[in-house]
Amino acid sequence: MKSAFDNAINLIFIGTLSAVGVASFLMPQNAINEFESRQRAPLPRLSLDDPQSLNMRNLKAFPFEFEYFFNDRIALRERTIMLRNLLKLKLWNVSGAKNVVIGERQYLFFEDDINQGLPDKVVAYTQPQLKEVTEKFLAPYRELKRRGTKYLLVVVPGKSAACSTFLKADLAQNWNRVRMNQVLKVLSAEGMPVLDLTEHLAGNGSENPNYFKRDTHWNWHGALVASKTIEERLSKEFPAMNVIRSAKIQETPVLHKTADLARMLAVGSIITERSRDIRLQLEDKKPIMEKSGNHSIVKFANRSNPALPEAILFCDSFGQYLLRYLQHSFSDLTSCEEPYVNCEIVEKLKPKVVIHEVADRFFAYPK
């Protein structure tokens, strides 16, 4: 009787493992792991048709690489990780991903955002390094200045700077954007107009937040504050730019379901965040998608007020939130998601204003 019971247990165990293994290979899997926002480990290649692939190094590495490949595709892996990380977050306030840091009140932070301000993680630039980094900003600025084009560098504070009150005390007390301060000091000495939005967005209290709780980006309220501040700065030279600040707004409660930090924790599909969708009570312009060489650009035409200037916005992912509002501040607004100003595009479009939006961590980890 005992032998029959043991055999049954063994058969169930073997059957379960076999079913999981077969399902892991038969279930369709995307090359991109959407749960963790990364690529899956590839299948290692050994081929008799390619003798060079059969060298000793590849043969030794094959078992380990195949294990990574299989582990990345094992059936129900994502659901298991999701449940584990959710329990860690909710019960113990612990992160289940090495690049996501849990702050106070379960605010999520990107590790690189925090590291750029910690002296033991990011050291100051040497003088040769500083010159190399600053020249990438100064070279196009000098060219625009020569042409008489208005330029504005807009620095967007990362979540760690804007929401530092929600960082754990041991991280917040020594936090300082050393490299960014080095770069901005050099740029300002050259006369470059710089708008650091930190003081306008910091504080981020729970009653009027500017950043999503579980995303690296600002929310629509933060983007609106930034857009008003940019418009106010430029209105000193273009007085007609008073569109956003004078417009009425309409707010709608929404659930934010695409938080990038929640996705990194593999809980993005089950954790949502209450937020506000904020729109100006103005007619939005239809974006026009175009190609300029190898670059994709988005254009908004707003010819209702010829007193407004034309502009180009060079930006990162933060800048995409600005388009909803800044499209109304210019007669023509072109957006190009690039880390630096592209003078070829400027020469082609000949705008009166160039806005260069940069997230603060870019100064610590330039491309």
User: Which residue reads 């390094």 in tokens?
Assistant: 129
Using alpha carbons, select from 331, 289, 338, 296 the residue that is nearest to residue 313: 338
For residues 360 and 122, is the Cβ–Cβ distance under 8 A? no
- The distance between the two most distant Cα atoms of the chain, rounded to a whole number of Å, is 93
For residues 122 and 182, is the Cβ–Cβ distance under 8 A? no
Question: What would the two tokens of residue 346 be?
Answer: 């400027």
For the chain, how big is the Rg over CA atoms in Å? 25
Using alpha carbons, select from 114, 83, 121 the residue that is nearest to residue 270: 83
The pLDDT of residue 25 is 61
Cβ neighbour number for residue 205 with a 10 Å cutoff: 9
For the whole model, what pTM was predicted?
0.84
pLDDT at 26 over 70: no
Q: What angle do CA 115, 116, 117 make, to 5 degrees?
A: 90
C-alpha 357/C-alpha 313 separation (Å) is: 7
- pLDDT, one tens digit per residue, over 243-294 is 999 999 999 999 988 899 998 888 987 888 999 999 999 998 889 888 777 7
Q: Which amino acid is at 212?
A: F
pLDDT at 21 over 70: no
Q: Is 53 exposed, middle or buried (0-12, 13-18, 19+ CB in 10 A)?
A: middle
Strands 273-280 and 249-256: antiparallel
The pLDDT of residue 4 is 75
pLDDT, average across residues 118-128: 86
C-alpha 176/C-alpha 158 separation (Å) is: 12
C-alpha 315/C-alpha 301 separation (Å) is: 19
Give the rounded distance of the alpha carbon of 176 from its chain centre: 20
- pLDDT, one tens digit per residue, over 176-232 is 788 999 999 999 999 999 999 999 998 755 566 899 999 999 999 999 999 999 999
pLDDT band at 169 (very low <50, low <70, confident <90, very high): confident
For residues 324 and 223, is the Cβ–Cβ distance under 8 A? yes
